[in-house]
Structure 1
Amino acid sequence: MVFFSESLGIPSLRVLAQKLLELLFDYEIEREPLLFHVFSNAGAMVYRYVLELLQTHGRFGHLHVVGAIFDSGPGDSNLVGALRALSVILEHRPAMLRLLLLVAFAVVAVLFHILLVPLTALFHTHFYDRLQDADSLWPELYLYSRADEVVRARDVERMVEARLAHPVLVRSVDFVSSAHVSHLRDYPTYYSSLCVDFMHCCVQS
């Protein structure tokens, strides 16, 4: 439902993003360097509101963000990928129920994009477009795979190209064979070293 509400311009994840930032104050670590590790499109949607809050909310304006890591995202609108993600969620359901739910979701999604998305586009910017043009200047690391069947590799690569057009230090790594958000599981040592090296680079810069 989050994906539909966001596309409708209902900022349902903004509250979650604010609570996430408020946790920094609850744990009294708001003065420490901050690096975001964002997973898939749901994480990217939350991150979009984090960026907005950092720019518009006085309490968060002094937070010291040093970088962001994106794992398996962000991806642009992709019905096939959404169906595959839903199929994974429903994999333990009876086959007939799973099929009915997938068909129902596909029909609703198609009607939704035909009838409602053009209207909401007049007053709401899609999270993918917002992230492409984000004003943030800290380094970004994109970890993705051409074998990902949920978020297309070319979507991540387009994001990388868009961010490189800004004065942002961007690095990307294609794991080639790992599935959606499975890069750490398939390549634990390599994945960890990439993240740790990136973190050190961000903190020291």
Structure 2
Amino acid sequence: MAADDIDYNIVFPDAGTLERHWQGTKEPVVILLGWAGCKDKHLSKYSSIYNDKGCVTIRYTAPLKTVFISETFGYKELSSTALKLLEILYDYEVENSPVFFHVFSNGGFMLYRYIVELLHSDQQFSSLRVLGAVVDSAPGSGNVQGALRALTATLGPQISPALKYVLLALFAVSVFLLRIVLYPVTKFIHKNHYDAVRERPPAWPHFLLYSRADQVIRHRDIELFAEAVTKKGVPVHSCDFTSSAHVCHFRDFPEQYTRKCRDFLVACMKDSEGPEAKKRQYVQSQ
């Protein structure tokens, strides 16, 4: 199997659930891309939103080193991971099913960026039919303080305080120099995830879930991103949960969160065969 060397989980719905929700149509495949440091037991709670709706789900979280080190220094390790994830669709013979993404924080969005680029440019994946994407607590850009908060939470209490402070200091200096001070130059070598997707977004609809209380990703970054891609013809919906912390919207508002995600998926399914889908395909080809 092409993706044997990445640690993913795939779940297929039982026949009864499948028949109840998607009778006469292909069930969607939902690819969930976890936040940095996300454990699969946490990501599985989100996949149940879609499994209970009769969807196939694929769960994957990029390793910490690719998010905090490789991307910071411009090494595109996640590009090969994106390729392997898309190949999973062919390994399990679900490439003819509609595809839907659920992306978490910058850690998931960094990987999503490379998936989008492959879907733009690689002929191998030209036949995949993407319905849309839910983006939870992302994307953010140029926020050193937020990045440090994310890394601190990810390192956890198991690491010694002295080593933690050294790692945080090195990371802060690297991000500040490469992604802020020198970015006007380094962007020509390696553009960050925020600018890459903002400047050449995919045509499918996006649903941005965020909160003004988020201390890791600035809500203004998300709102500016939404404005930019909307101007390029991409349908964008958003929901500000106002009080929930970073990637905690589901924890704090489980019923509302679940309903919004499912309703968006169903709406994307209904729109996927209509004239708006053809219009989006034209936008994507530009």
| Same-fold call, TM cutoff 0.5 | yes
Structure 1 residues 115 and 140: alpha-carbon distance in aligned structure 2, compared to 1, 3 A threshold: closer
More contact order relative to length (CA 8 Å, sep ≥ 6): 1
2:219 and 2:196 map into 1 onto residues whose CA distance is 19
Deviation at 1:164, TM superposition (A): 1.4
Matched, 1:190 2:256: yes
Matched, 1:51 2:107: no
Q: 1:173 aligns to what SS in structure 2?
A: strand
Q: After the TM superposition, which residues 14-163 of structure 1 pair with which residues of structure 2 at under 5 Å, given as runs?
A: 14-92=79-157, 93-113=159-179, 117-163=183-229
Q: 2:71 aligns to what SS in structure 1?
A: helix
Q: What is aligned with 1:5?
A: 70
Deviation at 1:135, TM superposition (A): 4.3
The sequence identity of aligned pairs, in percent, is: 46
Deviation at 1:192, TM superposition (A): 0.4
Deviation at 1:134, TM superposition (A): 2.4
Gaps of 5+ in 1: none
CA contact (8 A) 2:72 2:174 kept: no
Q: 1:141 aligns to what SS in structure 2?
A: strand
Q: What is aligned with 2:246?
A: 180
Gaps of 5+ in 2: 1-64, 272-286
Deviation at 1:68, TM superposition (A): 0.8
2:73 and 2:163 map into 1 onto residues whose CA distance is 27
Q: 1:73 aligns to what SS in structure 2?
A: coil
Deviation at 1:85, TM superposition (A): 0.7
Deviation at 1:102, TM superposition (A): 2.2
- Give deviations 1:132-173, integer Å, cap 9, x for gaps: 122422111000011111111100001111121122221000
CA contact (8 A) 1:8 1:116 kept: no
Deviation at 1:108, TM superposition (A): 3.4
Aligned pairs, how many?
205
1:191 and 1:147 map into 2 onto residues whose CA distance is 16
Letter paired with 1:122 = F
Letter paired with 1:160 = A
Q: TM-score, normalised by structure 2?
A: 0.67
91-100 vs 186-195, greater mean Cα deviation: 91-100
Deviation at 1:117, TM superposition (A): 3.5
Letter paired with 1:127 = H
CA contact (8 A) 2:250 2:258 kept: yes
39-48 vs 88-97, greater mean Cα deviation: 88-97
Deviation at 1:22, TM superposition (A): 0.4
Deviation at 1:48, TM superposition (A): 1.1
Q: 1:181 aligns to what SS in structure 2?
A: coil
Structure 1 residues 96 and 5: alpha-carbon distance in aligned structure 2, compared to 1, 3 A threshold: closer
1:120 and 1:202 map into 2 onto residues whose CA distance is 37
Q: TM-score, normalised by structure 1?
A: 0.91
CA RMSD in angstroms comes to 1.8
Structure 1 residues 38 and 114: alpha-carbon distance in aligned structure 2, compared to 1, 3 A threshold: closer
1:105 and 1:55 map into 2 onto residues whose CA distance is 32
